[in-house]
Amino acid sequence: MTGAPHRHFHDELSQLKDRLLHMSGEVEAAVDRAVRALLEHDADAAEQIIAHDSAIDELEIEIENGVTNLLALQQPMARDLRLLLAALKISNDLERMGDHAVNIAQSAKRLRDAPPITPAPELSDMARSVKAMLSGVLSAFVKGDSAAARAICRQDDHVDALHRSMFRILLTHMAEVPSTITAAMELLLVSRNLERVADLATNIGEDVVFMVEGTTIKHHAETGGVAGGR
């Protein structure tokens, strides 16, 4: 390969990374806003999140097309190939996270007229942790930092613990006050959606490790996810 097309290829790769960063920024904002809309009973904000999801879907298609073209035209080897395959999976995972944000926004709409959300601190804590995992793992991807990616996979346990704690609190609450059952069921689903976003961030972390080191850790890290994945 001569110098020129090689440089061109690396320009394309860095553009691809920028797009993924942009997409993950959008997803982070969507998750954050959805939880806020829920806590603040803001149905308009929830509606906006739902409407904006198509922009996230478009980004995924754009990234997929970019990767497919690069694979076809540049026929990259080894580490560059792994980077392109990781980009494909990451965009797929980000799009699914966007869908979870939409699910949370839909719960927010249904809970618009519900009493104040309990337990708010646990929910806010989950949202904060999930956001930190997502931004951390994308930064690990861009830097090719597998140690950082592994550290983020381990944070998934904290989110799983928060989800189990939400489950117990909601269960107790609905058993004591049956009139809260509908709202509690909805909040259980919100918690489950946040827990799934953390799982997807963990998937991305595993892809980064594979990309950098060429070794698969995924099914070790996932054991906790399944156990916590009620």
Is residue 114 classed as helix, strand or coil in its secondary structure? coil
Q: Could you tell me which residues come within 8 angstroms of residue 10 by beta carbon, excluding any fewer than 6 positions away?
A: none
230 contacts a copy of itself (rule: CB under 8 A): yes
Measured in residues, the chain has a length of 230
| 139/222 with CB nearer a copy of itself | 222
Q: Which is nearer to a copy of itself, 28 or 53 (CB)?
A: 53
Structure tokens at 95: 């799009």
- Nearest alpha-carbon partner for 79 in 218, 206, 216, 210: 210
Q: What are phi and psi of 214, to 5 degrees?
A: 70, 15
178 prior amide bond cis, ω within 30: no
Q: How far is the CB of 98 from a copy of itself (least distance, A)?
A: 9
Closest to a copy of itself by CB, 154 or 230 = 230
Kindly tell me which of 128 and 182 has the beta carbon lying closer to a copy of itself: 182
List the one residue from 13, 188, 204, 212 that touches a copy of itself (CB under 8 A): 188
Q: 17 is written with which tokens?
A: 């990374």
Per CB under 8 A, residues contacting a copy of itself are 53-54, 57-58, 61, 64, 68, 71-72, 75, 77-78, 81-82, 85, 88-89, 92, 99, 102-103, 106-107, 167, 171, 174-175, 178, 181-182, 185-186, 188-189, 192, 216, 218-219, 222, 225-227, 229-230
